Amino acid sequence: MKEDNRPEVQARQACLSKAFLGLLILLLAFPFTGVKSQCAMENNVFLPGERLQMEVYFKWGLLMPKAGNVILSVNNTNGGATYRYRLLFKTTSMFDHIFKMRDTIDCYYSKDMQLLRSQKRVNEGGKYNVDDLTFTYNEGLTRVRSHRYNLEKTKIDTTLVSENCMTDMLGATLFLRMYDISSMSTGDVIPFRIAVGRDRVNVRFRYGGQRIVEQGDNVKFKTKLFYMDIFDEAFTETKEAVEVWISDDENKIPIKIKAKLKVGSAEVHFKSISGNRHPFTSRIVIPSS
């Protein structure tokens, strides 16, 4: 694929790439506490075979076209000894003409939900990159070897260290779902870190209370709202850069996400879930008259 070097095209592509990075962070990044051992948690929310589908939209002015589709799935791997949590992202045919993206993230967990490895394979605008994160835990520290490379060379090879638990962008999803948000009060703040390349991205979460989210004329969801302050250049501002609505049931899945970006904004909307462990009681269907 021939690269278009026009400044306006490069700027638009960079914006889309950063926007997707931001969407991953906002979609997936939430804190984890109440651990049994260092950075481990009990799985009481999902069964292998669960599959979640979402749609991504970008908004410029009055326009809000659909930009892509996200699939999140979890399955057994390594003979049942570990879980593989996978994200697939694909831009729509319209956005393929602007900036084609085909991204895959795989997270591998022990059965006590310690994140062992994360691999992000990115094919964006004809460029291929891999982010390979390896996690180790000892002496109360989390160490992450961050290795980024393409087909020609290594771009990053470093180790990030945190006195607290640290995760990748995708892996934090499961920790959110296992976190007991029922005990949180409006205004509660929780700091968090995510490993991205050479950086530890700082995130701050504030609980905003219960909300109803409408989807079309006949469907509503009972949710809990979280405001997210993200200290990353992909966002227009850090305070309340993102709003996230989580289903108010035992599944605790993202129903809607809204992010402020340097150019426009982005939204992620829930589409469907299958193989869920718990009844999807937060979804309310209103019969047509």
Q: Which of 134, 195, 174, 136 is nearest to 254 (CA)?
A: 174
The reported pLDDT for the residue numbered 124 is: 83
pLDDT band at 4 (very low <50, low <70, confident <90, very high): low
Higher-pLDDT residue of 228 and 289 is 228
pLDDT top residue among 54 and 127: 54
Per-residue pLDDT averaged across 217-236, rounded? 80
Whether residue 36 has pLDDT greater than 50: no
pLDDT surpasses 70 at 240: no
Q: How many CB atoms lie within 10 A of CB 161?
A: 10
Average pLDDT over residues 46-66: 91
Give residue 89's Cα distance to chain centre: 11
Report the sign of the C-alpha dihedral through residues 271, 275, 280, 285, in that order. Answer: positive
pLDDT averaged over the chain?
Answer: 83
How many residues in the chain?
Answer: 289
178 and 44 Cβ atoms separated by less than 8 Å: yes
Q: What percent of the chain has pLDDT over 70?
A: 82
